[in-house]
Amino acid sequence: NGKPIESSVWRQVEKYLMLYYSPEQIAARLKKVSVQSIYNYLYQNKARYEQFKPYLRRKGKAYRHCKAPSIKEGDRRYKRSIKQRPSYVESRKTRGHWEGDTIISRKDKQALVILVERKTGLVLIGRLNQRTASETRDMIIKLLTPFEKMVKSITFDNGTEFNYHHAIEYYLNTTVYFAEPYKSWQRGTNENTNGL
């Protein structure tokens, strides 16, 4: 209808982009913006485009008949290694540094998200119907939101259920690290808690 789109709508668009919704999904959900207007919004500002480019499934590129190389959301190039985590975290002298993992039932596909704070030993547990990246992301955000001021970092293993770690960082204003593959002792607090 030619009317300018309100800034509150663009904030909703950005929120869904951070959750890895495609522009097509966002347009269908909001019904106040078109797919093309979302792409136009991103392309109008270079800094904005660079900010949201990692969350676009096609990285902002149009489909081509030939198969273009793509980077999966779980690609290690987008994961921050535990080696980058400040050394003082290891000492457990400060609160706010968490370790996270999931445990899956042998009988069915249900799973638990286990989060433990390294200094205090506070444990948060949430049940998942399925161990998907989207459900895991939502549960972690739900569990940690009441403790948001005490979430300085989270360290996960390399399971694909943590592929949406960028959204966790965004909503909790924290930093996510990943342990090295096959080195579970790097998240020893979490492993011990899971055993208990």
Q: 122: domain range?
A: 76-195
User: What pLDDT shows up at residue 148?
Assistant: 86
109 and 49 within one domain: no
Cα–Cα distances in angstroms (integers) from residue 41 to residues 38, 93, 187, in the given order: 5, 45, 41
The DSSP H or E segment spanning 50 is helix 46-52
**Residue 186: inside a domain:** yes
Please, what's the largest Cα pairwise distance for the chain? 60
Quote the strand ranges of 41-96, DSSP E. Answer: none
Q: What is the pTM of this model?
A: 0.59
**Residue 69: inside a domain:** no
**Residue 65: inside a domain:** no
133 and 47 within one domain: no
**Residue 110: inside a domain:** yes
Which tokens in the block code for residue 40?
Answer: 């136009």
**Residue 24: inside a domain:** yes
Which tokens in the block code for residue 114?
Answer: 């286990």
Looking at residue 30, the DSSP 8-state letter turns out to be: H
User: What pLDDT shows up at residue 37?
Assistant: 86
Cα(74)–Cα(162) distance, rounded to whole angstroms? 8
User: What pLDDT shows up at residue 68?
Assistant: 30
104 and 144 within one domain: yes
What's the 3-state SS for 1-14? Answer: CCCCCCHHHHHHHH
167 and 128 within one domain: yes
Cα–Cα distances in angstroms (integers) from residue 74 to residues 55, 80, 120, 172, in the given order: 12, 11, 30, 20
Q: What Rg value do the Cα atoms of the chain yield, rounded? A: 19
176 and 80 within one domain: yes
User: What pLDDT shows up at residue 98?
Assistant: 94
185 and 89 within one domain: yes
11 and 92 within one domain: no
Domain count, the chain: 2
User: What pLDDT shows up at residue 159?
Assistant: 86
Q: What is the CATH number of the domain that holds 184?
A: 3.30.420.10
Residue ranges of the chain with per-residue pLDDT less than 70: 1-4, 57-78, 108-109, 182-196
